Every structure is written in structure tokens, then in C-alpha cells.
A = this chain, B = another copy of it.
Amino acid sequence: MSARAINGQRLYAALAALGELGAYTDERTGLVGVNRLALTAADGEGRRHVVAAMRAAGLTVTIDRIGNVYARRPGRDDGARPVMIGSHIDSVATAGRFDGCLGVLGGLEVLRTLDEAGLTTRRPLVVGFFTEEEGARFGTDMLGSAVATGRIALEDAWAIRDGAGLSVHDELERIGFIGDADPVLPAPHAYVECHIEQGPTLRAAGLELGVVTGVQGICWHALEILGKSAHAGTTPMALRADAGVAAARINVLLRDMVASGSYGADLRATMGVITPYPGLVNVVPGRATVSVDLRTPDDAALERAEADVVRAYAEIAAREHVQITHRRTARTPYVPFDQQVQALIADAASARGLSHQRIISGAGHDAQELSRLCKTAMIFVPGEYDGISHNPRELSTLAQCENGVNVLCDVVQALAEEPGP
């Protein structure tokens, strides 16, 4: 016997309630978005809200020293390794209410559904959320889950600073989320994450669900370009060292690299941050901070693309008489997800009559970190408006969210009955 249907209305209301914490109104569009950058006061509010909901559901809450939060529901065989459901509740500065939150509140909804059905699974269940998944504040994404899996040492994570010079450690302390628990996580039995696609593919194909096969490789660089600030009217062009022009040449180069086809058809390259100083109409920018984001599921192509872009930094620096230094702020290889968990997801979707297909994730997720510890897969739900995300317009409908979390519920129950330690 299994619990067949989660409560979609309750789930959607929970998403709405969490979305009010850190809410802001976009000046240009009038749309209401979410700004819950990691470890800000708004993130603290969101965290306390979710912890309260976990406790109200009768769960035992543990907080570790990097601020990851775990809520545990006992199993019939309570010494067996738990099945973990998770995601994150931090956001980019201009977010919607679904990215990450669907996986966390969806997990809570699964546990509530089991409670109402009077079901206790063999294995304990854990719903978790991880610190700074976005990397939008401290520059390193999947920070909390990387510490949980031992890829990043706690002390190194604590020492990372945001643009204003504030450290992860001090900001965790300020919002009251440095817990007592050892952040290195004992291996769960399995990890499942339900997430919005954040892209146009499922919606364009008219599909109700995506079975995620893995996460493409990601490489981030933070660049500091140092030129010479000068008056735009009086400084001869030959004497300039314009950090903005150097940034522009790198941005155009990224497009050319993609268009060349030399890195396969799947390379994606983006310059999202471009900040010239002083940023005034009549001053040649003397300095610029810039980000580069490279992604592809082809590890060899990503390696070549990174090497080539680093070589190009040096060439452009020489050409524009500037200095360019880069710091690698993220680098993850292609991460394939577990075939058996993928099959469970596909089977559950089919049993519910939901149309679905295999899909690779373009974005990084905590699941790719957890896949180092245990068998792991993800469920994608489609997004409206071309799947726009990291934007106030981000939207998955109640039915889309309900489908994803129903399948999550099925898969978690199946995994939690599996035998073994």
C-alpha cells in the first residue's frame, strides 16, 4: 500500500507563504519577485519559517555548522540509512518562488501525505535544505551541499566573503544558523530532488515531467580587469587602457567560441556580471569585474573551452594594455544520475499517466553533490513563459508542481522500502 496523492493546494499555499519572505516589487514590471540571497536577513526569515513548519510536522530538526538543515522522520527500521529529499531555499537577487523551494516544501508535503495515510516507511526519511546553492552572494554555488559531501572543507567555506567583504561564518552567525552538527553527512540510502526545469524544453514539448539524466559540467570564472581610469574627452585613444573594452572583447569571444562549433553543439557561455568602475559616461573605465559561465555535458569540450578562454584573457589583456586576473569560482564535471532511480521516476510517471522524457540539467543542483554519497536522481517540472527562472516571472502551475511531487512521493516510498543497511 502506498500514499497515492499529495495535497496540491496545500503545497501551492506553502510555496506562496515562503515566497512572501524576501518579496520585492520589480520597479519596471510591477511583478513581485523574491530576493533571499543566502544568509541575508530575508534568508534567515525563510529558514526560521521552514524550520517551524518542519517542527510543526513533528520532525526532528538538525542544523549543521555550515547552516544546512535536516528534518528527520523515523522509519520502521530506524537504523537503516535514510532516503533524503532536498533542495535549497536561498535565491538569486531577482528570483521567483519555485527554484529550490519546490524541492524542500515538496519533501515536506510528501511527509505530511504519509502522515495522513498513516504510513511509516522502512527507512527513515529526511527532508533537507542546503546553504548558498545559488552562489549568487558568495560566488561558490552548491556551497552547503559541497561541505556536506566533503568536497569543500568547513573552514574554507566559512572564510569565503561576499562582495561587501562579509564572511560566510559571520553571516551564518548573524542570522543564527551556525548549528552544532558535524556538516559531513553520513551517506544516505538515496537522494531525490524535485525542481523546476528552469528552461524551455519540457514546456515547448508539451511534456508534464522530466526524468533528469545528469547535470552538465560547469565552469565559472570571476575576472578582475585592471586598466587605467581616464577622461573620455581628453585621453587619446592610443593611451587608453579601457577595462570595459577588454570585458566586451571577452563577451564577444564567448559568442564566437559557441558559434565556432569547436566545442560541440552543447556549449553554453555567458557573461552575466559586467561592472565597470567608475561607471560614468565621461570616464574611461579603469577597472571592471566580470563573470564567465561555461557549461556543457561534454567534459573534454569544457576542459578545452576553459583552456582557450584563459589563453584569450592573456591575448586580450595584451591588446588592450590591461591586466586580467581570473579566479575559478566553480568547476564541476558532468555528473550522471543513477539509472535505477531514473527508472523508478519514469515508471511512477508512466503509472500516473504523466507524459515525460529524459532531460539533462543545464543548471547545477545540490543533487550533483549528493550523488557522490548515494544513488541520486532528479525530477523536473516544466515552467511557464519559456521556463524563465531567476526572474519574478518564474512560474510552474499548481498542476505542474502537484505532478512532480506526486511522483516524488511514489519514488521516495519505493526507495524507503528497499532492503539493506
**Interface residues of A, Cβ cutoff 8 Å to B:** 28, 92-94, 134-136, 139, 141, 197-201, 216, 218, 220, 222, 228-237, 239, 242, 244-245, 247-249, 251-252, 255, 258, 267-287, 291, 293, 295, 329, 361-364, 386-391
Contact = CB atoms under 8 A, between A and B. Distances in A.
Contact of A272 (B199, B234, B244): B244
Copies of the chain in the assembly: 2
A282 B233 contact: no
A92 B280 contact: yes
A358 B362 CA distance: 61
A70 to B, nearest CB: 26
A237 B268 contact: yes
Nearest to A218: B233
Nearest to A364: B233
B199 A231 contact: yes
B134 A282 contact: yes
Contacts of A134: 282
Contact of A229 (B201, B291, B293, B390): B390
A390 B234 CA distance: 11
Contact of A281 (B220, B281, B362): B220
9 contacts: A134-B282, A135-B281, A136-B280, A139-B281, A199-B235, A237-B258, A237-B269, A270-B283, A275-B279
Contacts of A255: 237, 245
A220 B28 CA distance: 24
B239 A248 contact: no
A245 B237 contact: no
B251 A244 contact: yes
A279 B270 contact: no
Given A233-B295, A237-B268, A276 B274 contact: yes
A388 B229 contact: yes
A237 B263 CA distance: 13
A273 B279 contact: yes
Nearest to A135: B281
Contact of A93 (B200, B236, B278, B284): B278
